[in-house]
Structure 1
Amino acid sequence: MRVLIVSWEYPPVVVGGLGRHVHHLTTELAAQGHDIVVVTRRATGTDAVSHPTTDTRREGVRIIAAAEDPPEFEFGRDMMAWTLAMGHSLIRAALRSLGGQGDPAAGRPWEPDVVHAHDWLVAHPAIALAEFFDVPLVSTIHATEAGRHSGWVSGPTNRQVHSVEWWLAHESDSLITCSASMRDEVTQLFGPEISDVSVIHNGIDIRTWPFAPRPASSGRPPELLFAGRLEYEKGIQDLIAALPRIRRSHPGTTLTIAGDGTQQEWLLDEARRHRVAKSVRFLGALGHDDLVGLMHRCDAIVLPSRYEPFGIVALEAAATGIPLIVSTAGGLGEAVSDPTTGLTFSPGDVAGLADAVRTGLGDPAAAAVRARHARERLTVDFSWTEVAERTAAVYLAAKRRVRHPVGRPQIPERPLPERDPAQSV
């Protein structure tokens, strides 16, 4: 199939896990024989003089990277204006390259069989391009604004983002989420009248995350690891709060935090408040090799997310052999099976977190067995070959629906009620 993928992240412009996901998905789809074109952007803060629009081919994928337009917008300060401007530049670059000059290698216009959007930031260009080419629109919802803010969408920007997500969901002819919990969340937030939602877990290339067996004993105080963005929903504050309890049964235990984000100063204050500041190290964002080295060295990785659509870090960690101790938030609860492949606790449960960590540290041999089982599961359930095949099946089944006008969404200003797990499909 000919697939036009629209993403605001694509290497070398990578903000988070979405960029890596789209890169792996597109290269695997191309390897399976599909004709893939990605429409993305150049780096933030550049312009058409320093970083003009490019049309290149790498790893079997054609990549159209649109230059940023001259108006001065900053993502953090002018998020919606910046997003709309980016969308406008993506549309123009795609139409100029595809509808005009076409594929330089083929010497003719290139038209997709399907458009695939990744998240709300590309809603406008993806909807416009699917309409222009009159083909089905498939959208992957990687997370939601309501989910990121514990159900609250009362602020002006929160409401704007939520309304764009709602619009993208209703315009899509098929939807993909990375976990069953995200499928339930999307259906609850955007209504039962949206198109079918397929659950396709994120994948991992285990070749880039080498496995190292766990030693029986390191002969030093335990070292815990957190890797990810320093944001409230990642629950790092709960891990810091649990550290004093962990250190009472396992003296000298330290916590190493790899990553950056908006909450670092607040987390530093939390470490001081709980009197563990000297036992917590903030390393900032690390390169791939340094992160792998940490995973090989530390005794366990703790991912205490309060909200987590999937949790790709859990897969990456499992590939390296580090024991997993994670919350059951969202996709983490689906990716890690307690007690077979890791240990789990309820989101926000500081006592449960401390108990899980103490259990893991108290029996290194059992932790090593769980780590081996976690690694073995990756090759079966989370390979990119499997992810790409299932995604291509969604493309093939998607049909462009008749469009009808839709009104503005009714946006709740209070958190939606908790779902009863017994009601999950």
Structure 2
Amino acid sequence: MPAGTGGSENYTVGQVRELNRQGVPAQVVTVGLDADDGRSEFNDIPFRSLATLSEVGGLDGTIVFVNEPHTVPTKQLSYLILHNPPPIRDEQKAFAVRGTRNRALIVTSRYAAALWARYLDVDVSTINVVYPFAEPCFAEQPRPDTSAGTTRVLFAGRLSPEKGVYTLLETLHIDIIEQDVALTFTATTAGADKPQGKIIERLLGAHPGISVVTSRKTPATMAALMADHDVVVMPSNSQYWHETFGIVSVEAQHSGCRVIASDDGGLPETDCGGVVLVEPDNAEALAWGIRAAVASGPLSRAARQDAAARFTVKQSVNALLNVFAQPAPIPPATIIRQLEEQVLAPSAKVATTSRPDNVLIETAV
């Protein structure tokens, strides 16, 4: 679970950190990695490594699986936080359906709840929503004085197709962007440790219109990078991937940036007052969104303070604790089994007198 590789990792670590701050003992449990599980990058977080997945079933307390719906029996009802949209491959769907049947489900947006409810054919009300958060350092990070007339644009997502990086590359060649020397573009190397990320990193490195900087590994260093920019773009792909939330959007607004994001998935729910939504997978629309952000100027101090009051880590953890405090929900598998049992049960016969002449009527129910 290396730092800076994705929202799921930051969300998990932040939740554990805040739970411990509030006096609720919590730890990150990894499987099969020993000490090489990312703990060296999170010195303030308790880690525990297990040799096998089956050992998870022996743990006491509340168990929350992250993303992967492994079918491991646990001592009590366990939870599953689904950060990602449902898989589209049949073999992956079978794994997802099987692994979610006996778990209490948590997702990161109302959009994700509706998406997973359709996918799993369950009532949306059975899926809990706990929003992600921006760490306090994003709102606390000072913004340096900027050169008048210059707008600095940052792509802070992973270097992968679903994050819309190819749409951004197209946008760099739209005339209203390409000819504006007052616009600068920067991307980080987040995701370059993966094969496709390495390819995309080389593409960006060869493009004269964008600079590539080393990915940031901690919330504090990412906050500093965002504060050095005016606009953060999130051109997330909507053809086969739907962003279930988009924590980068919240972090950017807490840092005082405007955000240009695809009008898709959970991204509209991230609006803290500084989001401009554009048609996804449309380079021209992204270009005009950037122009709108330039025309609007930087977020005011009051707007940034208002943004910082939304999606805080305390709000997120309190919502999570409220989910744990609720009566244990009935897992979908149990509901299905109970319905099947009712269908197969024999009809009962009830004798009733329903006519004046005392003719006995048998009614099957």
Q: CA deviation at 1:142?
A: 0.7
Deviation, 1:251, is 2.9
The aligned residue for residue 16 of structure 1 is 6
Judged with a 3 Å threshold, the aligned counterparts in structure 2 of structure 1 residues 66 and 184 are, in CA distance, closer, same or farther, namely same
Say yes or no: does 1:331 pair with 2:266.
Answer: yes
The residue number in structure 2 matching 1:186 is 116
Contact 2:165 2:235 in 1 (8 A): yes
CA contact (8 A) 1:302 1:325 kept: yes
Equivalent-residue separation in structure 2 for 1:205 and 1:263 (angstroms): 26
User: Where do 1:235-274 residues align within 5 Å?
Assistant: 235-245=164-174, 246-247=176-177, 250-258=180-188, 259-261=190-192, 262-266=196-200, 269=203
Pairing 1:281–2:225 present: no
Aligned counterparts of 1:171 and 1:194: Cα–Cα separation in 2: 16
Cα 1:237–1:372 change in 2 (3 A) is: farther
Secondary structure (helix, strand or coil) at the match of 1:181 reads helix
- Extract unaligned runs of 5+ from structure 2: 338-365
Q: Which SS does the other structure have where 1:64 is aligned? A: strand
Equivalent residue of 1:244, what SS? Answer: coil
% same residue: 19
Q: Letter of the aligned partner of 1:265 in structure 2?
A: I
Is 2:16 the counterpart of 1:26?
yes
Give the match for residue 275 of structure 2.
Answer: 342
1:223 to 1:268, Cα distance in 2 relative to 1, 3 A: farther
Structure 2 partner of 1:200:
130
Which one-letter code corresponds to 2:49 in the other structure?
A: A
Residues 51, 271 of structure 1: CA spacing in aligned structure 2 closer, same or farther, 3 A cutoff? closer
Name the residue aligned to 1:5.
none
**1:322 paired to 2:257:** yes
- 1:150-186 deviations in Å (ceiling 9; x for gaps): xx42xxxxx33322222222221x2111111111110
Structure 1 SS opposite 2:212:
strand
2:322 maps to 393
* 1:163 correspondence with 2:98: no
Distance 2:21 2:79 in 1: 20
Alignment of 1:86-125 (within 5 A): 89-92=52-55, 95=58, 98=59, 111-112=60-61, 114-120=62-68, 123-124=69-70
Distance 1:212 1:343, change over 3 A: farther
Distance 1:165 1:374, change over 3 A: farther
Structure 2 counterpart of 1:66, one-letter code: L
Amino acid at match of 1:232: P
**TM-score if structure 1 supplies the norm length?**
0.66
Note closer, same or farther for the CA distance 1:171–1:238 as it changes in structure 2 (3 Å cut).
same
Partner-residue secondary structure (3-state), 2:226:
helix
| Bigger Cα Rg | 2
Name the CA shift for 1:62/1:240 in 2 (closer, same or farther; >3 Å): closer
For structure 1, the residue ranges without an aligned partner over 5 or more in a row are: 1-8, 68-88, 99-110, 147-151, 154-158, 408-425
1:188 partner letter: R
Distance in structure 2 (CA, Å) of the matches to 1:282 and 1:348: 22
Q: Do the aligned residues in 1 keep the contact of 2:53 with 2:72 (CA within 8 Å)?
A: no
- d(CA) in 2 for partners of 1:179 and 1:328? 14
* CA contact 1:318–1:324 (8 Å) conserved in 2: yes
Structure 1 partner of 2:341: none
CA contact (8 A) 1:64 1:94 kept: no
Contact between 1:301 and 1:317, CA under 8 Å: does it hold in 2?
yes
- In the alignment of these two chains, the number of paired residues is 323
Determine if contact 1:144/1:165 at 8 Å carries over to the other structure. Answer: no
Contact 1:324 1:342 in 2 (8 A): yes
Q: Aligned partners of 1:406, 1:201: CA distance in 2, in Å?
A: 28
- Would the aligned equivalents of 1:226 and 1:301 in 2 still touch at CA under 8 Å? yes
Q: How does 1:135-146 map to 2 (within 5 A)?
A: 135-146=76-87
Shift of residue 355, structure 1, vs aligned partner: 0.8
Contact 1:253/1:279, CA 8 A, preserved across alignment: no
Paired with 1:129 and 1:66, the residues of 2 have a C-alpha distance of 15
Q: 1:298 to 1:191 in 2, by over 3 A?
A: same
Contact between 1:224 and 1:300, CA under 8 Å: does it hold in 2?
A: yes
Given the superposition, is the C-alpha separation of residues 41 and 208 from structure 1 closer, same or farther in structure 2, using an over 3 Å criterion?
Answer: farther
The SS at the match of 1:343 is strand
Please say if residues 136 and 398 of structure 1, whose CA atoms lie closer than 8 Å, have aligned partners that are also in contact.
Answer: no
